[in-house]
């Protein structure tokens, strides 16, 4: 297990006041919340912030953490010294959004339990949340993903221990980014007699070099040579589900979108696939290439800037 420096997470010295910690947490959390931030590592950063804040905002936990001494460095191999938590009582809640906490946090503060549970309710296991990244192609065809979860269980002595659990999940065809899969009974087991909670998986798409998904519609850029755009052409278009033959009509302008109905993410109704046309300009390097451009200039009575007529020559 590696030591985690919760002060370093916030860029604060160990003597920081509670107000400074709160301010630093809020500033960074606003920046890295996965629903707000576009940064690739936002989710991991946000998780770390939540965990660090759960410890430092709680005076008891912070005191216990501080009492381990300042000689530890982040990333250093670490085991909690025996009796390190003597005299401290942890009653506050953790960074409890149903996400995994680090081994380090679990070893020190154990599983935070009891949040949101009301007296008299059957002790149903809690719902668990995780995020799964898939490729756009998986949404077209359906897929299977192995995910690993850490679930609390009672060992023979009645202690709560974390166990790694692997789960093969069927990703249904037609799922879209941002949607959730609910797997009934696959959340945290009840520590008593109640039923297990549910597992919610939020689906995200890995960035694709060619396609962009927007809901159930999918977009791709389709560059054309000037003569292909002007005269029309037929070409082979790649789609996430194999390629197909596309006819580009004559007189296609840059920015025009050709819609391929029903070729987006499958469903009822299925999405559409849009080819966003662009014009790629061939460079005029050789003498014959330059001659071709000059011939074009001569053949066309064409003003590229009609709106500036009279102002430019």
Partner 1 sequence: MSNADSQPVRGVIVEEEIQLTLVELSQACRAPEAHVIAWVYEGVLEPVGEAPQDWRFTGSALRRAKLALWLSRDLEINPPGVALALDLLDDIAALQARLERFGAR
Q: Which residues bind partner 1 (CB under 8 A)?
A: 25-26, 29-30, 33, 35-36, 38, 50, 53, 96-98, 115-116, 124, 126-127, 129, 144, 165-170, 172, 174-175, 178-184, 186, 189, 196-202, 212, 214-215, 219, 221, 255, 274, 276
- Min dist CB 295 to partner 1, Å, is 32
- Min dist CB 258 to partner 1, Å, is 14
Give the whole-angstrom CA distance, residue 162 versus residue 103.
9
Q: Closer CB to partner 1, residue 80 or residue 190?
A: 190
Q: Closer CB to partner 1, residue 117 or residue 159?
A: 117
Q: Closer CB to partner 1, residue 58 or residue 198?
A: 198
Q: Closer CB to partner 1, residue 233 or residue 276?
A: 276
Q: How many residues does the chain have?
A: 313
Q: Which residues, including other chains, have CB under 8 Å from residue 112's CB and lie 6 or more apart?
A: 54, 93, 94, 96
- Min dist CB 95 to partner 1, Å, is 9
Distances (CA, A) of 146 to 12, 162, 165, 234, 287: 38, 19, 10, 41, 59
Give the whole-angstrom CA distance, residue 257 versus residue 218.
12
Q: Closer CB to partner 1, residue 85 or residue 213?
A: 213
- Min dist CB 290 to partner 1, Å, is 30
Q: Closer CB to partner 1, residue 35 or residue 311?
A: 35
Burial 212-222 (b: 16+ CB within 10 A, else e): ebeebbbbbeb
- Min dist CB 244 to partner 1, Å, is 21
What DSSP string runs through 85-142?
TTT----S--S-SS----HHHHHHH-----TTPPTTS--PPPPEEEEEEE-HHHHHH-
**Structure tokens, 311:** 């102002």
- Min dist CB 237 to partner 1, Å, is 16
Q: Closer CB to partner 1, residue 178 or residue 226?
A: 178
- Min dist CB 191 to partner 1, Å, is 13
Q: Closer CB to partner 1, residue 27 or residue 159?
A: 27
- Min dist CB 10 to partner 1, Å, is 14
**Structure tokens, 274:** 């849009």
What DSSP string runs through 232-301?
-EEEEEEEBTEEEEEEEPTTPPTT-EEEETT-SS-SSS---EEEEEEEPPPP--SHHHHHHHHHHHHH--
Residue with tokens 């959004």: 97
201 near 147, Cβ under 8 Å?
yes
Rounded to the nearest 10°, the torsion over CA 267, 270, 271, 274 is 140
């Amino acid at each position: 297990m590696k030591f985690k420096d919760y002060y370093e997470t916030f860029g604060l010295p160990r003597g920081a006041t509670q107000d400074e910690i709160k301010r630093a947490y809020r500033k960074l959390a606003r920046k890295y919340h996965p629903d707000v931030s576009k940064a690739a590592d936002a989710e991991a950063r946000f998780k770390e912030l939540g965990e660090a804040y759960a410890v430092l905002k709680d005076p008891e936990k912070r005191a216990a953490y501080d009492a381990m001494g300042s000689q530890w460095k982040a990333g250093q191999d670490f085991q909690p010294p025996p009796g390190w938590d003597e005299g401290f009582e942890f009653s506050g809640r953790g960074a409890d959004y149903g996400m995994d906490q680090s081994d380090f946090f679990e070893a020190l503060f154990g599983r935070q339990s009891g949040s949101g549970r009301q007296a008299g309710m059957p002790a149903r296991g809690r719902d668990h949340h995780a995020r799964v990244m898939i490729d756009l192609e998986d949404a077209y065809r359906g897929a299977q993903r192995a995910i690993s979860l850490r679930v609390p269980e009672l060992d023979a002595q009645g202690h709560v221990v974390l166990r790694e659990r692997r789960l093969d999940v069927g990703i249904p065809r037609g799922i879209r980014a941002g949607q959730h899969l609910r797997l009934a009974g696959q959340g945290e087991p009840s520590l008593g007699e109640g039923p297990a909670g549910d597992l919610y998986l939020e689906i995200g798409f890995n960035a694709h070099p060619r396609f962009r998904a927007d809901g159930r519609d999918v977009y791709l850029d389709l560059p054309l040579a000037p003569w292909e755009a002007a005269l029309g052409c037929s070409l082979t278009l790649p789609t996430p589900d194999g390629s197909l033959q596309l006819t580009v009509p004559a007189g296609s302008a840059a920015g025009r979108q050709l819609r391929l109905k029903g070729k987006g993410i499958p469903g009822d109704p299925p999405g559409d696939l849009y080819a966003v046309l662009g014009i790629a300009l061939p460079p005029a390097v050789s003498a014959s290439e330059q001659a071709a451009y000059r011939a074009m200039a001569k053949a066309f009575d064409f003003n590229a800037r009609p709106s500036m007529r009279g102002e430019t020559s």
